Amino acid sequence: MDAYLNNANASDVREMLGLRTTAARILVAAFVGTYALIATTGGPPGSLWYELTAWFIVSVAAIALIVVRGDPLPMLFTVALTASGVVAMNVILLAVHPPVSGLQLWPLSAVTAIYTYMCVRGRTTWAWIGMLAVLASYVLWAQRTGMGYVTGLQLSVINFAPLVTATFFGWTIRPAAQNIFALRRQTTVRAEAEAADAAVLDERDHRLTQLDELTRPLLERMAGYGSLTDDDRTAAGLLEAHLRDTLRAPTLTTPAISRAANRARSRGVEVVMLDDHGLDDVPADLRDQLLDRVLDTLAAADSGTVTIRVLPPRRQAVLTIVHRTPDTLSRLEFRVDGELIRRDSPIRATPHPEVFWHD
């Protein structure tokens, strides 16, 4: 049952008919309470357990009609609801004998309500099967107890009226509901597409603005006096490296790391940053811990090459930092929680440092 309850159908007619509202729950509670009173007060002597059994069956069926998700009703629940009316009716017929008085045959009206709402929930054929089985049970009981087929049919056939009404209601309202749901889905898809387009345009505008802020001052200086000074060349090289970082390692290009990388490059350190998106879905606090490790490394480096790489998702290590100097090579690996899981002590560098690199 949980599997059915946890898989909602986006085109659930309950949404349109208000079967998920507080009013619907109050109505079902009134249904359960009313028939509880009838079952405990209106039956013949010695029939209390029969009455309570039938009441329990129709109560569970009524609750299921507003709780079970899916449109139409899942087949497992459809069969159970169809059988519930037949079983509840026959349980009472076992205890009731003519002459019948008052509301002793109350399950007939209760199961009519259940089958009526089954039509609304898209199971009209099964509702009619259940209703015909209930009426057949009633007519056979009337014949067996001496009332006769005709009398039994006269007393029960009136219950066809609500089911006929519900059948026509289902034929008209359900196609309309499906059209409404289809329009809702189209509207949702259109809104999502528009939001995605807007996000792309916003990101493009943001990138263009950022690029303009970064490059315009240097380009204007270069255009103003033609020749480049050593400071201009240095600034251009740092800017080129920063722009490359924003493309290859967006997660690592925070303002603090960008400043630290610029200072390290100004000291002659070659900084290479790569991002394979292992931090994209990491909580902000854990990501900040890992970025602090990057900051520490960049602040301490004064020569050589520092390669910082965010590994792909679902790896034991999420961040690696390799620092190569003319004389040594060291490697650090960090878990997603910022814990160091591997530290290769600085060793004498080899002509092929890539042996320390792995995916």
Pairing of strands 328-334, 305-310: unpaired
Residue of 322, 327, 321, 335 whose CA lies nearest to 282: 335
Give the N- to C-terminal CA distance of the chain in Å, as an integer: 44
- Nearest C-alpha neighbor of 118 from the set 181, 68, 161: 68
Please write the tens of the pLDDT for every residue from 290-345.
999 999 999 999 999 999 999 998 888 999 999 998 888 889 999 888 888 877 65
Q: Give the model's pLDDT for residue 61.
A: 93
Question: Which pLDDT value is given to residue 357?
Answer: 44
pLDDT value of position 5: 39
**332, 340 contact by CB (below 8 A):** yes
C-alpha–C-alpha distance, residues 30 and 187, integer Å: 38
- pLDDT at residue 2 in the model: 40
Torsion of CA 291, 295, 301, 304, to 10 degrees: 40
Give the separation between CA 307 and CA 273, rounded to whole angstroms. Answer: 6
Using 50 as the pLDDT threshold, list the residues of the chain that sit under it: 1-10, 352-359
Identify the pLDDT of residue 18: 62
Q: Identify the pLDDT of residue 13.
A: 59
Q: In the prediction, which pLDDT does 62 show? A: 92
Strand pairing partners for 320? 309, 333
CB 253 within 8 A of CB 244: no
pLDDT at position 340: 85
Encoded amino acid at 231, one letter: D
